Amino acid sequence: MQFRGGGNLRILLVEDDHFLGDSVLKALLAENYTVDWLTEGRAVSTALISENYDLVILDNRLPGKSGLDILRELREAKQDVPVLMLTACDALEDKIRGLDAGADDYLTKPFEMLELFARVRSLMRRRGDRSAKLAGKHLEMDVAERKVVFHGECVDDLTAKEFAILEILLRNKGRFVTKHRLLEGCSSWDSDITPNTIEVYISRLRKRFGSELIETLRGVGYRVQAG
């Protein structure tokens, strides 16, 4: 299940309890996050391969595959997306197993939504601190300062949507980003943005920073080269 909010941060919620999942989903959407909700463990790996997430909220006891198994596979694959374990397993040993498997935080049920929001914000701050400065070929971006430097000169004529698209591409450097993901990233700026306008903004960015900056793979998406 997929639900688009107005925010630029995308969360994968994995929770098989439909009542709780629906409550968390609605709460996150109200906080302006973009949320994909899955209820089955085996679908998570496919989702993480096909989409780019800023955070995973992961239940442990899931049908098909446990949250711990999913977490171990994530870390073995060197995927560093933050993971917040959300589970009824409240024993100290369970928490230790989750953290040792690679969880970034651990929240036990039942919980208050305000605490969930606080933990999400904390994980996003930590991730943002690691990637506040982004870089591409001859290009540097300071996300916190909303500043772009190209060949040593400050670029101050980017629109908000151009900046948002460039930020998403730089955060996922070396990986293809789907047009749908770019649409979601710009939805907070303009609800009428379309796939065709994404192509227009990509074209503008290429003219501004050089055609070799952004690669297109037809039917897949766009990427900034890692090297």
Query: What would the DSSP string read from start to end of 98-152?
Result: HHHHT-SEEEESS--HHHHHHHHHHHHHHHHHHTSEEEETTEEEETTTTEEEETT
pTM above 0.85, yes or no: no
Note whether 196 and 101 are same-domain residues. Answer: no
Give the CATH number, domain containing residue 203: 1.10.10.10
Note whether 84 and 66 are same-domain residues. Answer: yes
Query: What confidence score (pLDDT) does residue 19 get?
Result: 94
In the chain, which stretches have pLDDT less than 50? 2-7, 188-191
CA gap 100, 57 in Å, rounded: 17
> Tokens at residue 119, please?
């933990």
Q: Which of 33, 88, 25 is nearest to 55 (CA)?
A: 33
Note whether 123 and 151 are same-domain residues. Answer: no
Name the domain boundary from 130, 148, 179: 130
What are residue 155's DSSP bridge partners? 148
Instruction: Give residue-wise pLDDT tens across range 51-89.
Output: 778 899 999 888 888 889 999 988 888 777 899 998 887
Note whether 73 and 145 are same-domain residues. Answer: no
Name the domain boundary from 130, 157, 179: 130
Instruction: Give residue-wise pLDDT tens across range 94-116.
Output: 778 888 888 888 888 889 999 99
Note whether 86 and 168 are same-domain residues. Answer: no
Name the domain boundary from 111, 130, 149: 130
Note whether 76 and 111 are same-domain residues. Answer: yes
